[in-house]
Amino acid sequence: MLIQFNFKNFKSFREEVSLDLTATKITEHEDHVAEAANDKLLKVAAIYGANASGKSNVYDAFEYMTYYVDESFKFGDEEERRRKTGDAYLKVTPFLFDEKSRGEETTFEVFYVDNSEDTERTYQYGFSLKNDEVIEEWLYSKAKTARNKYRTIFYRKKGEELEMNGFSKNHVENIKASLNKESLIVSLGSKLRIAKLKKVRDWFLSNEIVNFGDPAENFFLSSVLPEGFVDKKEVQDNVVEYFASFDEAIQDFNIEELPKEDEKDNGKNYKIDALHKMGDSGKMASIPLKQESSGTLKMFALYPSLKEVLNQGSTLFIDELNARLHPLLVRNIILTFLSPEINTQNAQLVFTTHDIWQFSNELLRRDEIWMVNKNRDGVSELYSLVEFKDEDGNKVRRDEALAKNYLTGNYGAIPALKPMKMLKGRTMDGK
């Protein structure tokens, strides 16, 4: 489980911010809290903010950290090779609206409990980047019984001797020989099949990151089939049952493998039809899946990620969860993660949204609701509703009308609107 995600000097966030999923001592919805490694953790975090406030940058920060952990073993002084092979290198984006921040490091850090282990060991992993170089990287761990005492697994800093503990001499030598300025030790170590480093990379890859605000990604995701969907009837039946939780129109699927257009193409393409029951005859009407509504396609695209994280107990990050989905359907997804009967592995859902229907103390705890506000200098800040204080120092009460107070600006993180006078039409006399 994710305990905490910290980052600094990334896009609109200049100062260090922390998305902390540790449950506070408030008493509402105590069944939302899961215990792991002596910590009480939350399974849901909803992030609100105005357009262009920077709320999607929280999602982007975790996505970038995951990308760099996954891919950085390919980077380095092999620029010519990358150019030839087409390997991507996405340069980190610091806060750009002051000269000082442009030249400073960008930092990412996570605290997490690895659900794949029975020991419930806590890990602290992070790194700092500047331009094309890793300036610092660290990995610490703490046993469940060790209270707050972390043990150094490795520590790396530019200009200092690399510290690695509990590794074989051969592994240390291989890391030192292969490490370049752009690569992370975790990424390289995973490539070299060093178990304790591969485990960290695997934790990042076990999480799912979905951007429903991106039309191109939506299109791609809707064409990705759930594992086993083509040849396993039980998977198809499970998808039908999943659809039935919000729409019972789809009764079954018909799957047909398409002939190859190019003999060199090793992949397989399929024509998938959704079967709908005809009301007057009881027969089935076949409709191409691609012709279903955008909401249905979105839910189809979401199924593999939901299934995977709920099975593994990992974390699902979604940008703009509410896009093209009814508020009650969004609520049903949230309730799925909050349900101890369904979410048996304590998977977590972190999502950005504008959906005011979910801004409710009937559904969420105050420490599960997060706000992103951008000031006049273009600097975004991240804070939870439970830590928010008004000008008089008053905290948000558990019995407040949260949605109403949010829309009236009591908690910040709303757009500063002005009349759109530039759109004024012509007067009656044509002027």
Domain boundaries, the chain: 2-207+314-407, 218-299
Residue 180: burial class (beta carbons within 10 Å; 0-12, 13-18, 19+) = middle
Q: Given pLDDT bands bounded at 50, 70 and 90, which one contains residue 307?
A: very high
* Long-range Cβ contacts of 382-388 (<8 Å, 24+ apart): 382/13, 382/17, 382/18, 382/19, 382/47, 382/58, 384/20, 385/411, 386/24, 386/26, 388/412
Per-residue pLDDT at 58? 97
Segment (H or E) for 39: strand 39-42
The segment with the largest mean pLDDT, out of 42-56, 220-234, 274-288, is 42-56
Cβ(295)–Cβ(326) under 8 Å?
A: yes
Per-residue pLDDT at 241? 93
* Mean pLDDT within 367-379: 94
Token reading at 361: 């103390």
Per-residue pLDDT at 266? 67
Question: Which residue is it, tokens 């107070």?
Answer: 405
- Strand, helix or coil for residue 257: strand
Separation between Cα atoms, residue 237 and residue 66, nearest integer Å: 33
Q: Could you give the strand order of the β-sheet that contains 348-352, starting from the edge strand earlier in sequence?
A: 208-211, 315-319, 348-352, 44-49, 369-374, 380-384
* Amino acid occupying residue 259: P
Separation between Cα atoms, residue 76 and residue 66, nearest integer Å: 18
Token reading at 222: 């809707």
Residues written for the chain: 431
Residue 191: burial class (beta carbons within 10 Å; 0-12, 13-18, 19+) = middle
The DSSP bridge partners found for residue 9 are: none
* Mean pLDDT within 65-71: 95
Higher pLDDT, 318 or 77: 318
By DSSP bridging, strand 315-319 and strand 208-211 are parallel
Cβ(285)–Cβ(275) under 8 Å?
A: yes
Phi, psi of 346, deg, nearest 5: 60, 45
Per-residue pLDDT at 258? 82
Higher pLDDT, 181 or 223: 181
Question: Which residue is it, tokens 């299934």?
Answer: 307
Separation between Cα atoms, residue 247 and residue 251, nearest integer Å: 10
Per-residue pLDDT at 84? 46
Cα within 13 Å of Cα(257), Cβ side: 7
Per-residue pLDDT at 88? 63
Pick the CATH number of 2-207+314-407 from 3.40.50, 3.90.25, 2.60.40, 3.20.20: 3.40.50
Higher pLDDT, 228 or 17: 17
The DSSP bridge partners found for residue 276 are: 250, 285
Say whether pLDDT at 35 is over 60: yes
Residues 6+ apart with CB under 8 A from 183: 72, 73, 75, 76, 134
Per-residue pLDDT at 30? 94
Per-residue pLDDT at 75? 82
* Mean pLDDT within 294-322: 92
Per-residue pLDDT at 183? 94
Cβ(349)–Cβ(337) under 8 Å?
A: yes
Q: What percent of the chain has pLDDT over 70?
A: 92
CA distances from 77 to 180, 282, 421 (A): 7, 65, 54
Say whether pLDDT at 420 is over 90: no
The DSSP symbol for 431 reads -
Token reading at 338: 């909050």
Cβ(302)–Cβ(48) under 8 Å?
A: no
pTM: 0.91
Q: What is the mean pLDDT of the chain?
A: 89
Separation between Cα atoms, residue 69 and residue 188, nearest integer Å: 9
